[in-house]
Amino acid sequence: MAVDSIAPPKASWADEIEEEEDAFQPMAFTDENGIKTVIEYRENEDGRKVKVTRKIRSKLVTEHVNKTVAQRKKWAKFGEEEGNKPGPDVATTTIGESIPLKLGSSHGKNADTAAEEEAHDKITSQIKPKNIVCRICKGEHFTSKCPYKDTMAPLDEITSSLEAVKLDGDMESGEGGAGGPNKYTPPHLRNKGSAAAGDSMRDNKRDDSATLRVTNLSEDVTDNDIYDLFNRFGSIARVYLARDRETGLCKGFAFVSFADKSDAERAQQAINGYGYDNLILRVEFARSS
């Protein structure tokens, strides 16, 4: 009697692929101490199968987050994760580095904290150094950098002189009321005659006959450069260099006053047409206004 042997069924290539995929699936379990162990199988660079074991200790940390963030964590899972337990699944989710974000807002601060911050800001404002004030024009710059240092007296001196003149006028008016009729006397005529006033005005008028006007100067020229250029011809009484109010650079002209007019004439003849700083200087006597 012949017995027919049954051949075993052939294995499907799809089953082999599923077995390979199942072999690489990570396995995770938690022990009694709360330490979670994750075992994974991977292929290294040489094509060999290696086993990777990770142990994770979970620690519950309570922190205050934004209400919107807290509500988002309570959303129900959807898609392939629908119905799973809360929290990320290592099989489908890659957990990156946790970056905390703290928003600088004053919302929620109590009264004590707000009072402390206000007191700290007040102390800081008191400690803050005062602005630099010029003694001449009261601007926010150093006195040596003031554009009016050669043309204007300090405001404090002007104020004190005006107060002194006013005080003298009050005293003179009081003396006039005691000794005779109260009659107004102009300030320039008090204790002086008309002739004396005229003489004083003529004496106070500045003599510009020995003053030279230098033009075509470069913007890099300084007061010391002008002084060194003209000092060899005689005694210099005053040097004025016109500067730009904002940049502080030379505006292209200057005035040089000599003590002697003969020295000014020699300087005018020598420097007029002289090349200085790649420019040809022009020197002439200043015109009296």
Q: What is the pLDDT of residues 148-196, one digit of tens each?
A: 777 766 666 766 766 766 666 666 555 554 444 566 776 767 765 444 4
pLDDT of residue 214: 92
**Rounded to an integer, what distance in angstroms lies between the CA atom of residue 165 and that of residue 157?**
12
pLDDT tops 70 at residue 98:
yes
- Residue 48's H or E segment, with its range, is none
Q: What is the pTM of this model?
A: 0.32
Q: pLDDT for 7-38, tens place per residue?
A: 556 556 656 555 555 556 788 888 888 788 88
- Residue 251's H or E segment, with its range, is strand 250-258
Q: pLDDT for 58-67, tens place per residue?
A: 888 787 778 8
Distances (CA, A) of 256 to 223, 224, 265, 285, 289: 10, 12, 12, 10, 16
- Residue 40's H or E segment, with its range, is strand 35-43
Please tell me which of 94-108, 158-172, 229-243 the model is most confident about, judged by mean pLDDT: 229-243
Structure tokens at 69: 């963030």
Count of all residues that appear for the chain in the document: 289
Structure tokens at 217: 């100067």
